[in-house]
Amino acid sequence: MRLAILSIVAQAAVAAGQLLGTPSYEFLYTVNATLGERWQIGDYGQGSRVVIPITGGTFQGPRLSGTVSNLGADWGLNDTKGVFFPDTRYNLRTHDGVDIYIQTSGPTQPDGRTLLRGTFQVAHPNYDWLNYVLAVGVLRRPTGEDRGKYVTIDMWQVSIHTQSTEMMDVTNLRADGFAKV
Q: Which of 102, 99, 71 is nearest to 86 (CA)?
A: 102
Lowest pLDDT segment from 46-55, 130-139, 161-170: 161-170
Rg (CA), the chain: 22
Neighbours of 120 (CB within 10 A): 19
Residue 81 three-state SS: coil
List of domains in the chain: 1-21+164-181 (no CATH), 25-161 (2.40.160.20)
Evaluated on CA atoms 43, 47, 48, 50, the torsion sign reads: negative
Q: What is the mean pLDDT of residues 150-165?
A: 84
18 vs 137 pLDDT, higher one: 137
What distance in Å separates the CA atoms of residue 118 and residue 157, rounded to the nearest whole number?
A: 9
Q: What is the mean pLDDT of residues 139-157?
A: 89
Read off the pLDDT band of 177 (50, 70, 90): very low
What distance in Å separates the CA atoms of residue 67 and residue 163, rounded to the nearest whole number?
A: 37
Q: What is the tens place of the pLDDT at every residue in 76-105?
A: 999 999 999 999 999 999 999 999 999 999
pLDDT at 15: 58
What distance in Å separates the CA atoms of residue 36 and residue 69, rounded to the nearest whole number?
A: 13
152 vs 10 pLDDT, higher one: 152
Lowest pLDDT segment from 32-41, 109-118, 141-150: 141-150
Residues 162, 26, 70, CA angle at the centre, nearest 5°?
A: 140
Question: What does the mean pLDDT of the chain come to?
Answer: 85
**19-48: buried (b, 16+ CB within 10 Å) or exposed (e) per residue?**
eeeeeeeeebbbbebebeeeeeeeeeeebb
40 vs 147 pLDDT, higher one: 40
Checking if the pLDDT of 141 tops 70, the result is: yes
